[in-house]
Amino acid sequence: MKPDDPNLKRVEPPKLTLLEKTYLPQILGGLAVTGRHILGSAIGGKAVTVQYPEEQHVPTANYRGVHRLNKDEQGRVKCVACMLCATACPAHCIDIVGATAPEDWPDREKYPESFVIDELRCIYCGMCEEACPVDAIELTGLYDITGLSREELIYDKAKLLSVFDMTKDAEPMKTGNPPASLPVPTSPLDPEGPGPRTTVPAAQLPSRS
């Protein structure tokens, strides 16, 4: 579209009043929110601090966390290596190597021989999930991911499938859920347990040389 196109609608920025130009209303509004939280914690006892890791925040059902690769009823990866998720990804954090599907998989032509997501580069926008035509990739409610190196947070196919095994009873990204209220709901951690329930187990990563 050219700048002189008659169909081009020009939108002028709103004119600010003298008071708005000082930004005082916005500053006072922000201070009011801060004061409301401080007084609410002191008087009402509604502290929003979570005693992590003894208590863990329970995210809403539509929270976008760690990815998972879904399996079908036969235990096969659902992905058909169409590359739509990698194409839609604005962060370019998905790397897929497709291969010809085995002969006993008549429902598809290809499958992902390699499927890697860089969780450090991902912006968790959910575009990959929206683009997938077979519901093979989803973002789960897992958020506690840590590692001692960058390589540990590059998830290969085996690790993504292991996340599915951990969360297969959940239904991530269900829309229509109410926003989280304060204080946020938490889940107590079993001191005798192996660790936080949100921790994703490590998996050996493929060589990317």
76-113 pLDDT, tens digit each: 999 999 999 999 999 999 999 999 999 999 999 999 99
User: Does any domain span residue 144?
Assistant: yes
Secondary structure (DSSP) of 84-144: HHHHH-TT--EEEEEEEPPTT-TT-SEEEEEEEEETTT-----HHHHH-TT--EEE-S---
Ligand-binding site membership of 85 (annotated): yes
CB distance 186 to 58 below 8 Å: yes
Is 186's pLDDT higher than 50?
yes
Does residue 44 form part of some domain? no
* pLDDT confidence of residue 39: 82
Distance between CA atoms of residues 2 and 44, nearest Å? 58
For residue 90, being part of any structural domain is answered with yes
Residue 128 assigned ligand-binding role:
yes
Residue 193 belongs to some domain of the structure: no
Q: Total domain count for the chain? A: 1
Residue 12 maps to a domain: no
Task: Determine if residue 93 is labeled as part of a ligand binding site.
Answer: no
Share of the chain above pLDDT 90, in %: 48
pLDDT digits (tens, 9 = 90+) for 37-54: 888 777 766 666 778 888
Whether residue 119 has pLDDT greater than 70: yes
The answer to whether residue 107 sits within a structural domain is yes
- The pTM of this model reads 0.65
Q: What is the pLDDT of residues 134-166, one digit of tens each?
A: 999 999 988 888 888 899 999 999 999 999 998
In DSSP terms, 115 is beta-bridged to: 96
Q: Given this model, what pLDDT does residue 27 score? A: 95
> Can you tell me the distance from the alpha carbon of 60 to that of 82, in angstroms, rounded to the nearest whole number?
30
Q: State the DSSP H helix or E strand holding residue 155, giving kind and residue range, or none if neither.
A: strand 154-155
Model confidence at 174, in pLDDT bands (50, 70, 90)? Answer: low
Non-local CB neighbours of 40 within 8 Å, separated by 6+ positions: 46
**Domain presence at residue 72:** yes
Domain at 63, CATH number: 3.30.70.3270
Cβ of 157: how many Cβ atoms within 10 Å? 21
**Does the residue 195 lie in any domain?**
no
Range of the domain at 170: 55-188
